[in-house]
Amino acid sequence: MEILLAIVVASAVIFFGALISMGNERQRKAIDGLREQVVLWAIQDLKIKREHLVQAVQVPDPLDWLNKTASRVCAYDLKLQVLEVVEEPQSLICASGDGDLKVIFSPLSPVDIRRIKSSRQSRLSKFAGQNPLLHLPKSVNIHELSPLNSGHLFDLELGLVWTALTGQSWSTINSLWIYILGN
């Protein structure tokens, strides 16, 4: 009798455990579905808000915008002054207000620069003399500007700023790299 009672109790525990497990799995799927719907709603909400803001995006002083955005990421005011624009590979070369630093802005990441350097030598030779991106020392201070650290309208404002300062069109690149060199 005790063995039969033990088997019934064990069977009941296993049965209820299976029911609870199935219920938990169903709840997990429901929660995953809700989470997915919330994410889709949030993305759609941001798209709608950005659509309204796209027409209103203006940057009255591009150099000041670039200085403020770079200062936020670099943690000190650079007081930028534009020195030169290089077309290939795209870069904007600036100096800090005190003249101690050379600051290079480019849509090219360090990986992209290494790839250009390691590509065919004949392609590199036509850029080598003029672009400091191709002669960066190992001690260069590198920062990335992106919508994550520069504001949710960063990519829209950056297109306006880049075109105003360089005269070059800005494609759909969402980040700008800062290379800071000491003189």
If one counts every other C-beta atom within 10 angstroms of the C-beta of residue 108, the result is 19
Residue 34 confidence (pLDDT): 92
pLDDT per position as a tens digit, 18-37: 888 888 888 888 998 998 89
pLDDT per position as a tens digit, 120-137: 554 545 555 567 777 788
In the chain, % of residues over pLDDT 90: 3
pLDDT per position as a tens digit, 69-122: 888 888 888 888 888 888 777 888 888 877 788 888 988 888 888 887 777 554
Domain residue extents for the chain: 1-56, 62-182
DSSP states of 55-98? TT---S-HHHHHHHHHHHHHSS----EEEEEETTTTEEEEE-TT
